[in-house]
Amino acid sequence: MQIFNEINTRNLRGDIFGGVTAAVIALPMALAFGVASGAGAEVGLYGAIMVGLFAALFGGSPTLISEPTGPMTVVFTAVIAKLIASDPVNGMAMAFTVVIMAGMFQILFGALRLGKYVTLMPYSVVSGFMSGIGIILIILQIGPLLGQPAPAGGVIGVLENIPSLIAGIEPEETVLALMTLAILFLMPGSMKRYVPAPLLALVIGTAVSILLLSSDDIRRIGEIPTGLPALQMPVFSFDQWQVMLLDAIVLGMLGCIDALLTSVIADSMTAQQHKSDKELIGQGIGNVMSGLFGGLPGAGATMGTVVNIQSGARTALSGLVRAGILIVIVLWAAGLTAVIPLAVLAAIALNVGINIIDWKFLKRTHKFSKRGTIITYAVIALTVFVDLIVAVGLGLFVANVMTITRLSELQANDVKGVIDPNDTDLELSGYEKDLMETAAGKVLLLNLTGTMIFGVSRAITRKNSGIENRRALIIDVSNVVHLGVSAALALEEAILDMLNAGRDVYIVGAHGQPHDRMERLGILDRLPPENITKKRTVALERAIYGGEDSISEEAEAESTSEETTPPSQA
């Protein structure tokens, strides 16, 4: 496998222009996310450089731009708050260790080739989780928007302190924030092609704060350290390692989902095909390096990626150009960011939160499914007010249970119990109907079709519940594609009940995986060889007339006319 991403100079002009444009967008977003996380503006810049550089070098999506994103920042903010509360001295260092661990999990996911499975989540859960994260990001900006530090205690702490935040409002900073939001929302689309709205809002907001407002009363970023960040050695706490491990898995999984979903968007715009597993490895290396140098965790960023492609980028060279420009800013121009007002960055972060909310789906979810609607809003509520991990875990559990229940209900129709040939929708030949009428209700024909998963076992048991007055049971598995363990055990129980009662059991059309499954369970060994047949007519004759070796002319004709390969074997 090729180690590096697709990097060449065949599209030099487009890649350079795309990288420059992506860097221009990345700067205000990185600063905003750094401040929003509580770790500092410089941490956002370090994350934008490290994740972007190494994901571009080693990833599997040439035009993907990777940097700190809203969802990753929200999760990391919760990690910081949790670890600092438990260990004020080492909490921040432990939080960066979680970023390193998350990156290692991403590398592991890629190495195990799990990329194609990462995004196999119910959309109702993904939408609810992302929308919940957007709401959290919005709520956390309420304090800075009103000119005050965000209260401790996360979302609940902010909501509890809203009266005091409003009472202590700083009008000048609030005006700056509202002006920034106005620029972000009202800027014409034609202008956005030339100047990214976040950058324009950042420049205008900073200029107004310096030239028109009382500069001393406005909270600003302050001096950002110039030069490359110092190496952050991993710090572990024996008491907190389980919490750190769980947070790392959540952060890593979220980063995988974010990156791969954005890669799909990039594919649709460039007509290329990304390499999912390779991209996860690149994302993992980027997050490991970001954690080692004290940066925010990151993932594929939709805005940066779209602008990068629209500006002409087609290879990973654009990502390297973007990282190079940000490195230059950190090394020689970090001082220019010191005067940026925190209220302006809070407005930019709030705008990101609004965009993360899946408005399109939330408006229509009730039209798709009432159950899906309940899951979506339950995940949102759990994400915002309880815990991110609980929200995803419970949402996935409920959604999967509902899906399995629905599949079981649908597949229960593939289990047909026939006693009266005139009271069934199962296709029977004329001779089979004659045989069933001759049986006079003494033979139960159990016909299975398709994939028999564990939810079908109840249907098998239910259809088999009326065997007490039957002389024989015929189980037709000719059209079964897959026989699950639970369904096989249900069949075994039905067979044993009949055999223990001294009655006959016949199995028709056992082949492939169903045959192997029943053979391993010893089901076939319990029956005489002549009771295992390929044709239903043969089984019916033997069940009705006894186990003669001869086959009637009608059965022979049926066998000849039906010598076709079952659909499951085709």
Could you read off the pLDDT of 291-303 as tens digits, one per residue? 999 999 999 998 8
pLDDT at 568 over 50: no
Q: What is the DSSP string of 191-235?
A: HHTTS-HHHHHHHHHHHHHHHTS-GGGS-B--PPPPSPPPP----
Query: What are 407-425's pLDDT values in tens digits?
Result: 766 666 777 878 888 877 7
Residue 382, token pair as written in the block? 């759990």
Region 328-339: mean pLDDT is 84
Average pLDDT over residues 492-503: 85
b/e string for 36-49 if b means 16 or more Cβ within 10 A? bbbbbbbbbbbbbb
Angle, to 10 degrees, between the axis of helix 241-270 and the axis of helix 91-111? 50
**Orientation of helix 388-411 relative to helix 370-385, angle to 10°:** 160
**With bands split at pLDDT 50, 70 and 90, how would you rate the model's confidence at 396?**
confident
What single letter denotes the amino acid at residue 523?
I
pLDDT at 386 over 50: yes
Q: Is the pLDDT of residue 497 over 90?
A: no
Question: Cα separation of 255 and 106, whole Å?
Answer: 8
Bridge partners (DSSP) listed for residue 416: 447
- The more confidently predicted of residues 453 and 149 is 149
Between 357 and 222, residue with greater pLDDT: 357
What distance in Å separates the CA atoms of residue 412 and residue 184, rounded to the nearest whole number? 53
Average pLDDT over residues 515-522: 89
Residue length of the chain: 570
Mean pLDDT of 6-33: 89
Smallest CA-to-CA distance from 298 within 67, 96, 97 is with 67
Asked if residue 95 has pLDDT above 50, the reply is yes
Whose structure tokens read 């069949």? 491
Mean pLDDT of 480-509: 86
State the CB neighbour count (10 A cutoff) for residue 265. 17
Using the Cα atoms of residue 66, residue 67, residue 72 and residue 76 in order, give the sign of their dihedral. positive
List, in order, residues 6 or more apart from 559 with CB less than 8 Å away.
Answer: 534, 535, 537, 538, 551
Winning range, highest mean pLDDT, from 216-220, 286-290, 330-334, 380-384: 286-290
Q: To which H or E segment does residue 483 belong?
A: strand 472-483
pLDDT at 552: 52
Which pair of structure tokens corresponds to residue 232? 């952050």
Asked whether residue 564 carries a pLDDT value surpassing 50, the answer given is no
Asked if the model's pLDDT at residue 149 lies above 70, the reply is yes
Q: How confident is the model at residue 459 (pLDDT cuts 50, 70, 90)?
A: low
215 band by pLDDT with thresholds 50, 70 and 90: low
Region of 271 on the Ramachandran plot (φ > 0 left; ψ -120 to 50 alpha; else beta)? left
Place of tokens 């060279």: 317
Tokens of 271: 């007509």
* Closest C-alpha among 427, 453, 527 to residue 445: 427
Specify the pLDDT at position 327: 93
Cα–Cα distance list, 370 to 120, 124, 202, 375, 402 (Å): 21, 11, 42, 9, 12
Q: Please state, for a pLDDT cut of 70, what percent of the chain lies above it.
A: 91
Across 149-158, 320-329, 339-348, 456-465, least confident range: 456-465
Q: What is the mean pLDDT of residues 441-460?
A: 77
Mean pLDDT of the chain: 85
3-class SS at 5? coil
- pLDDT computed for residue 500 by the predictor: 86
Q: Looking at the predicted structure, is the pLDDT value of residue 238 above 60?
A: yes
Q: Which domains does the chain have, with CATH numbers?
A: 12-144+168-385 (no CATH), 415-569 (3.30.750.24)
Neighbours of 544 (CB within 10 A): 16
Model pTM? Answer: 0.75
- Of 93, 3, 97, nearest in space to 54 by CA: 3
- 368 pLDDT exceeds 90? no
Q: What value does the mean pLDDT take over residues 131-150?
A: 90
State the amino acid at position 459 in one-letter form: A
Say which range, 57-66, 373-382, 383-392, 464-473, has the weakest mean pLDDT.
464-473
Q: What is the pLDDT of residue 281?
A: 95
Q: For residues 360-380, give the mean pLDDT.
A: 86
How far, in Å, CA of 300 to CA of 55, rounded? 9
